[in-house]
Amino acid sequence: MSEKNLLLEKDGALAIVTFNNPKALNALTVDTFKALEALLVDLEQDVEVRVVILTGAGEKAFVAGGDISHLATLDAEGARAFALQAQSVIARIEAFPKPVIAAINGYALGGGCELSMGCDIRIAADTAVFGQPEVKLGILPGFAGTQRLSRLVGKGRAKEIIFTGEMFSAEEAYRIGLVNKVVPKASLMDEARAMAGKMTDKSASAIKLCKEAIDNGLEMDFARGARYEADLFGLSFTTADCKEGISAFLEKRPAKF
């Protein structure tokens, strides 16, 4: 456990981080972001941990957004600083060298939806509810939601979601490609663990390079992205995992990564 608003459970190669302020539907504060950043630094260095799952405590919410009572205290400079702090922590999740799965157990609104979009994979409970309701508060998504939502679901759909501020279901989130999978609420964590399990027995160094190729390559034009992939492909041949994976196949035995 790293601090009250953030719980950490380690289970073999898996780390489960839980936003734990259910009375305020796990709304995100400056302190939560600081704690999350410190935890990510630890988990990055922890060689045992191969996959991280983020989820929310309580029955109702993953994360219902930035803490509106904190937003009420901010001036323009403070709002910009909060947005930048949150963006840098979410960017750290996106660049984290191991897969990060969001197990979305309820409301994923505003900053909560934005945080989930920094994760590699989103699995939603069938009861989860999504939305970017900032326009109802006279503000805009400030945790890079305008950028990530447009890239994930396309510009037209992102504008509809952001301009209307309407909430939508997990099924709709699946239909538009915002989440990878919708599962019964009762089996959400089992499903997240099962998906993580399909990654933890694979090569961590190869997965890290795949993540870099996808995330960094998508910011390039196709030819440069493909060239970048080839560079990383070459790099993968310098790893012990490459030797082990290929030898294991040829020796007809399971690879041990």
Nearer to ligand CO8, 16 or 108 (CB): 108
From the candidates 9, 48, 59, 134, give the one annotated as an active-site residue.
134
Q: Taking the complex as a whole, how short is the minimal distance between the CB of residue 244 and ligand CO8, in angstroms? A: 44
Take residue 28 and report the two structure tokens written for it: 């995100």
Residue type at 237 in one-letter notation: F
Q: Taking the complex as a whole, how short is the minimal distance between the CB of residue 79 and ligand CO8, in angstroms? A: 4
Binding footprint of ligand CO8 on the chain (CB under 6 A): 24-25, 27, 64-69, 71, 74, 79, 82-83, 107, 109-111, 133-134, 137, 141-143
Active site residue 134: yes
Nearer to ligand CO8, 84 or 235 (CB): 84
Q: What is the per-residue burial (b if ≥16 Cβ within 10 Å, else e) of 38-62?
A: ebbeebeeeeebbbbbbbbbbeebb
- Whole-angstrom distance, CA of residue 92 vs CA of residue 67: 20
Take residue 93 and report the two structure tokens written for it: 């999740």
3-state helix, strand, coil in the chain (%, to 5): 55, 20, 30
Nearer to ligand CO8, 142 or 245 (CB): 142
From the candidates 114, 171, 191, 244, give the one annotated as an active-site residue.
114
Q: Taking the complex as a whole, how short is the minimal distance between the CB of residue 165 and ligand CO8, in angstroms? A: 8
Active site residue 114: yes
Using a 10 angstrom Cβ sphere, with 0-12 exposed, 13-18 middle and 19 or more buried, the burial of residue 170 is buried
The alpha carbon of residue 85 and the mean position of all alpha carbons in its chain are separated, in whole angstroms, by 16
Nearer to ligand CO8, 72 or 223 (CB): 72
User: Tokens 């390039």 correspond to what residue?
Assistant: 220
Q: How many other CB atoms are found less than 10 A from the CB of residue 17?
A: 21
Q: Taking the complex as a whole, how short is the minimal distance between the CB of residue 185 and ligand CO8, in angstroms? A: 16
Nearer to ligand CO8, 84 or 220 (CB): 84
List active site positions. 114, 134
